[in-house]
Chains A and B, each alone.
Chain A
Amino acid sequence: MNPSAEISTTTRKRVRKARRPRLQLTHLGPIQAADVSFGDLTVIVGPQATGKSIFLQTLKLLLDRDHIHDTFKHHSTAFNDNAGAFMEGYFGRGMASVWGAQSALTWNGTAAALTDYAKPTKSKKRYERMFYIPAQRVMSLPGGVSQNFGQFNFGDPYTLRAFSDAVHDLIQNEFGAKGELFPGPNRLNETLRKPIQTHLFGGHRLLIDDKDFTKRLGLQVKGQAKPLGFLSWSAGQREFTPLLMGVYWLCPTTYRRKTGSTAEESIEWVVIEEPEMGLHPQGIAAVLLLVLELMRRGYRVVLSSHSPVVLEMVWALQEFKKLHSSELSVRRILDLPATAEGKKIALSALSKDYAVYYFERDGSVRDISNLDPASLDPSESEWGGISGFAARTNEAIADAVNTAAAPPKVKRKQNAGKRNAASEGSAT
Chain B
Amino acid sequence: MKGRGKKAARGTSLQETTAFHVAASAAGLQPRGGKDAVEGSYRAQIIVSKGAQFTGSVDVDGHFSVSEPQSHRWDYGLGIALSAGAEIACWVEPHPASSTGSVGTMLKKLDWLKAKLTTRPFKQLNAMTFEHNQGIQRFHWLLTPQGVCRITATSKEARTLAKAGLRMPARQITLP
Contacts and interface: CB of A to CB of B under 8 A. Distances in A.
B153 A402 contact: no
A104 B147 CA distance: 39
B49 interface: no
B162 A398 contact: yes
Contacts of A428: 118, 123, 126-127
B165 A374 contact: no
B120 A387 contact: no
Contacts of B92: none
Interface stretch (A78-86, A192-200, A389-397): A389-397
A373 B133 contact: no
A131 interface: no
Contacts of B134: 403
A111 B147 CA distance: 40
Interface residues of A, number: 33
Question: Chain A interface secondary structure, helix, strand, loop or mixed?
Answer: helix
A394 B137 contact: no
B143 interface: yes
Given A407-B130, A428-B127, A390 B118 contact: no
A319 to B, nearest CB: 6
Given A308-B154, A312-B154, A399 B137 contact: yes
Nearest to A394: B162
Interface in B117-173: 118-120, 122-123, 126-127, 130-131, 133-139, 143, 147-154, 158-159, 161-172
Size class of B's contact patch? Answer: 35 or more
A373 B139 contact: no
A372 interface: yes
A401 B123 contact: no
Contacts of A427: 118-120, 122-123, 126
B97 interface: yes
B118 A394 contact: no
A406 interface: yes
Contact of A373 (B122, B137, B152, B163): B152
Given A402-B137, A407-B130, A394 B165 contact: no
Contact of A315 (B119, B139, B152): B152
Contacts of A383: 153
Given A394-B162, A406-B133, A374 B168 contact: yes
A197 B137 CA distance: 47
A398 B153 contact: no
Contacts of A402: 130, 133, 136-139, 165
A422 interface: no
Contacts of B131: 406-407
B166 A387 contact: no
8 contacts: A373-B151, A374-B149, A374-B169, A383-B153, A387-B153, A402-B130, A402-B133, A427-B122
Interface of B: 97, 118-120, 122-123, 126-127, 130-131, 133-139, 143, 147-154, 158-159, 161-172
Interface of A: 308, 312, 315, 319, 322, 372-376, 381-383, 387-388, 390-391, 393-395, 397-399, 401-403, 405-407, 424, 426-428
The 9 A-B pairs of least Cβ separation, nearest first, read: A374-B149, A401-B165, A406-B130, A397-B162, A394-B162, A406-B133, A391-B153, A387-B153, A390-B153
